[in-house]
Structure 1
Amino acid sequence: MNNTLSGINRRTVISGIALALASTHIGQGWAADAWPTKTVRIIVPFAPGGGADSSARVLAEVLAPKLGQSVIVENKPGAGSAIGVMAAAQSKDGHTLLMGSNSMVINPVLNPAIAYDVARDFDAVGMVSAQPLVLVVPASSKITSYAELVAEAKAKPGTVTAGNSGNGTLAHLTAELFAVETKTSITSVPYKGESALLPDLIGGLVSCGFLNLPSVITHIKSGRLRALAVSSPTPVVELPNVPTLRSLGQPSLEVQGWAALVAPKGTIPKDGLARLEALLAQALATDTVKTRFAAMSLQPVARSRDDTAQYLKAEAARWQQVIKARGIKADS
């Protein structure tokens, strides 16, 4: 009798342990799917339009049904994106993301008064998109190639003017990087945005500029601007005959406008971040996203969370060197 009862008790205990373990695994499965529990907000630190904003809006549509919650885009422009980035860094609701861009890593280097630190304050989710810059000159310019531009800058130090969309912008820093890498002297001319710069560039009042592809492609095709090179790793579909800077012997000038998805540090559970990472990679591989990105001259870029974190760190270090070498200061 005792042996029988002992056997029953052992079976009961074993069954109980098995049930408990099964319940634990089920609970873990539910926990992995628990995030998000409400609407997800993607902060874009710019006004509507542009690569980061466009990327965010496409992804919001694609990710919402996969996450089972609404995904909204909230634009918070100002201070060269610092206002939106700070707002995201300070958000603790656990359902806020940030569509970061180059300025996210540039601003703290350019202006020590900016309080956020990308590595300290954000968890990477993944890269999203990239957009090349195009080195252009006025159609009336006597300069017809990259080599001629370098020769002109060396022969007449300071006389080559590079227009940009504002102090500390990617267009500005790329022109300064050009001066460092080619050991030339150029004069940077800041404007309040590309729309203000373009008339003077087309009119020949400035010598050149490293500008976003979408803003110059129409002017290149109409013959008002001449493209000398593109900054992407491979030739641009819209400009198949324009060489890459890498092919011209300047791989260090491979600069692109990028967008990356990040979350305020520690606000989204690890399972939630892993789920986001996987869904983002899946979305970027779809024909829907590829087609819509291509229409905006954007290239989908998939990277893991770890690779993205390393990339952001490398970008910050890269621009810190340029800013220090060229003595660039933030606007007062």
Structure 2
Amino acid sequence: MNHTLRTVNRRTALSTIALALAATHAGTGWTADAWPNKTVRIIVPFAPGGGADSSARVLAEVLAPKLGQSVIVENRPGAGSAIGVMAAAQSKDGHTLLMGSNSMVINPVLNPSISYDVARDFDAVGMVSAQPLVLVVPAASKLTSFAELVAEAKARPGTLTAGNSGNGTLAHLTAELFAIQTQTAITSVPYKGESALVPDLIGGLVSCGFLNLPSVIAHIRSGRLRALAVSSPAPVAALPGVPTLRSLGQPSLEVQGWAALVAPKGTIPKEGLARLETLLTQALATDAVKTRFTSLSVEPVASGRDATAQYLKDEGTRWQQVIKARGIKADS
């Protein structure tokens, strides 16, 4: 073989290797080009229509033109969000994101059979939104304040019932945290979602509940439910005169339903994560997104990757302590 032919063959071989590497990287999203280079998918581990789903759809509309690629929302509900979270954790296409929520950190603690680990399996992108819980009682209840509720729980241990949207949900764990912090005994009553709980709460079949703001605000305004307190750091504009639990001397009961954007660990290059973080922060600061979120009764929350990762860790620790202290088990 002459020198020229050897040179050509060598160049051909190198070109083939380069093309093969490029094709391999393209399949995982790791390319020399700017991320993303194809459609971005946001998995929402709940059915359409909820706060996390609506927030994801607002962001998809805003982020798509900035990223230069389509952004679609894929609902993967089931098992208290565990199915969707696992689907995201196992995705290796380099263009999948997850709209995580409280249940994301609660489920692995509640149910040891759930195999994902938030810190091990996900890269944080940033916080998205927060939503307060509202402590409500039936309008016909004799209890008109948080102090009266605590006094009743102390005077008649176990007789007060706290309705919740299911075992291990944020409403359930917050009621259990209430019992711990106030040193009272209450009886938790699980329902299959807030839509099933609210009519019984209005009818007085349960004593109280820590419910999501959108589920109860119309009933509070109509006078069918009475709001005793909100769990947010600041008062809620939609509920004038309703105190925060912090202002009532219960800072440990400051609980928020939150949403955060995360990515399967190591699937998006650092430059892509940094770009997402910046675009997310910018989007949450716009009047358009703020207005859309307000209509959903959620508050935009901008937080960087490191702060978000720490927050998810702290939330997992917090609820692990409550679950252990109260002996809460997953439904069999």
Is contact 1:32-1:271 (8 Å) kept? Answer: no
Describe the SS at the equivalent of 2:272: helix
In 2, distance between residues paired with 1:317 and 1:230? 23
Asked if residue 234 in structure 1 is aligned to residue 213 in structure 2, the reply is no
> Judging changes above 3 Å, is the alpha-carbon distance between structure 1 residues 152 and 33 closer, same or farther for their aligned structure 2 residues?
farther
Partner of 1:163: 163
Distance 2:54 2:255 in 1: 20
Any residues of structure 2 matched to 1:77-156 within 5 Å, and which?
A: 77-156=77-156
Q: In 2, are the aligned partners of 1:130 and 1:300 still within 8 Å (CA)?
A: yes
Counterparts of residues 1-332 of structure 1 (less than 5 Å): 34-332=34-332
Work out the CA distance in 2 between the residues paired with 1:181 and 1:113: 29
Letter in 1 for 2:144: T
4+ aligned runs moved over 6 Å, structure 1: none
Measure, in 2, the Cα distance between the counterparts of 1:122 and 1:33.
23
User: SS of the residue aligned with 1:206?
Assistant: coil
* In structure 2, C-alpha distance between the alignment counterparts of 1:316 and 1:258, rounded to whole Å: 13
How far apart are the structure 2 equivalents of 1:269 and 1:189? 45
Alpha-carbon shift at residue 51 of structure 1 (Å) = 1.4
Offset of 1:34 from its aligned partner? 1.3
| Alpha-carbon contact 1:125-1:263 (below 8 Å) kept | yes
Q: Distance in 1 between matches of 2:277 and 2:296?
A: 23
| CA–CA separation in structure 1 for the residues paired with 2:135 and 2:54 | 23
Q: 1:233–1:246: 8 Å Cα contact kept in structure 2?
A: yes
Amino acid at match of 2:78: G
- The letter for the 2-side match of 1:113 is S
The answer for unaligned runs of 5 or more in structure 2 is 1-30
Aligned residue type for 1:256:
Q
Percent identity between the aligned chains? 88
Given that 1:124 and 1:309 are in contact with CA atoms closer than 8 Å, whether structure 2 keeps it comes out as: yes
TM-score if structure 2 supplies the norm length? 0.90
Q: TM-score by structure 1 length?
A: 0.90
The C-alpha deviation readout for 1:281-331, integer Å capped at 9, x for no partner, is 000000010000000111000001000000000000000000000000000
Provide the rounded CA distance (Å) in 2 between the counterparts of 1:51 and 1:150. 30
Given that residues 33 and 272 in structure 1 are in contact (C-alpha distance below 8 angstroms), is that contact kept between their aligned partners in structure 2? no
Q: Give CA deviations for 1:99-148 in whole Å, capped at 9, x if unaligned.
A: 00000000000000000000000000000000000000000000000000
1:51 & 1:104 partners in 2: Cα distance?
A: 15
State the shift of 1:240 in Å.
1.5
Give CA-to-partner distance per residue, 1:165-214, whole Å, 9 cap, x none.
00000000000000000000000000000010011100000000000000
Q: Which has the larger radius of gyration?
A: 1
**In the aligned structure 1, how far is the partner of 2:121 from the partner of 2:241?**
42
Counterpart amino acid of residue 107 in structure 1: N
Distance 1:282 1:32, change over 3 A: farther
